[in-house]
Amino acid sequence: MLFDTHVHLNARQFQDDREEVIKRAHDAGVTRMVVVGFDEETIPLAIEIAESHDNIYAAVGWHPVDAVDYHEEHLDWLEKLSHHNKVVALGEMGLDYHWDTSPKDIQAVVFRKQIRLAKRLKMPIIIHNREATDDVIKILQEENAQEIGGIMHCYSATREEVQPVLDLNFHISLGGPVTFKNAHEVKEVAKLIPLDRLLIETDAPFLAPHPNRGKRNEPAYVKLVAEEIARLREMDVSELAEVTTDNACRFFGISD
């Protein structure tokens, strides 16, 4: 019983075989997924996929890479979509200092606006953070994001930064990189996260876990993530699956 808390089944990489991918996930024991939309193209499709499948849900937000294309109408659109019965979180939102597509100050403004919307709607948030940990945490603290809580998606920061994230009432989600042989820091992080704050994901079609690294990722591979974390924590994988699924259902407000 696995829950992939962050997957992009709405990506173009799945347009030819999406239903087969979903079936393989179910066959691998993935009983629930959250499809994340992050722009004008992927948000409607995320909701469409969620509407078409039991136990698939959607999150909607504006990605920092596309912050330069943001308009105020987008915030109104996100608010309207947030009332959909299959939308369980706002995001992904945050900061990305890796890709030079949107100025940092514009990213910060769009990030803050979405946090404030989520607080008004009393919805949890999903955070995208790439090479911007200090600024992400600073903005979350300044905006009192602990009032709604959230997920640090595909956590890639250090062990020292785990506690500030936990202090913000956030969960930490780990994906394929925890399985990489040279990912020593992420493996240590996997041992540190309190069990009641731990989530798992694929971020498919990106970041496929070992031994599929470099190939298209898919939600069935979240089982490999669970197996590696269970090995690192010296616990049974079935127990880890149960705990992380319970955590996700509670976080997203999904009844079992």
Structure token digits, residue 131: 């090479």
Could you list the pLDDT tens digit for every one of the 256 residues in the chain? Answer: 999 999 999 999 999 999 999 999 999 999 999 999 999 999 999 999 999 999 999 999 999 999 999 999 999 999 999 999 999 999 999 999 999 899 999 999 999 999 999 999 999 999 999 999 999 999 999 999 999 999 999 999 999 999 999 999 999 999 999 999 999 999 999 999 999 999 999 999 999 999 999 999 999 999 999 999 999 999 999 999 999 999 999 999 998 6
**Domain ranges within the chain, ordered by starting residue:** 2-252
Residue 154 φ then ψ, to 5°:
50, 60
Residue 6 has what pLDDT?
98
Residue 109 parent element (H or E): helix 104-121
Contact 6, 207 (CB under 8 A): no
Q: Which CATH architecture has domain 2-252?
A: Alpha-Beta Barrel (3.20)
Residue 90 φ then ψ, to 5°:
-105, 130
Residue 100 has what pLDDT?
84
Residue 239 has what pLDDT?
98
DSSP-assigned letters across all residues of the chain: -EEEEEE-TTSGGGTTTHHHHHHHHHHTTEEEEEEEE-STTHHHHHHHHHHHSTTEEEEE---GGGGGG--HHHHHHHHHHTTSTTEEEEEEEEEE-SSTTS-HHHHHHHHHHHHHHHHHHT--EEEEEES-HHHHHHHHHHTTGGGT-EEETT--S-GGGHHHHHHTTEEEEE-GGGGSTT-HHHHHHHHHS-GGGEEE---TTSSPPTTSTTS---GGGHHHHHHHHHHHHTS-HHHHHHHHHHHHHHHHT---
Residue 255 has what pLDDT?
86
Instruction: Identify the CA nearest to 127 among candidates 167, 84, 97, 171.
Output: 171
Residue 256 has what pLDDT?
66
Residue 166 has what pLDDT?
98
Query: Does pTM surpass 0.85?
Result: yes
What whole-number distance in Å separates Cα of residue 90 and Cα of residue 118? 7
Beta bridge partners of 190: none
Q: Which residue has the tokens 């939308």?
A: 87
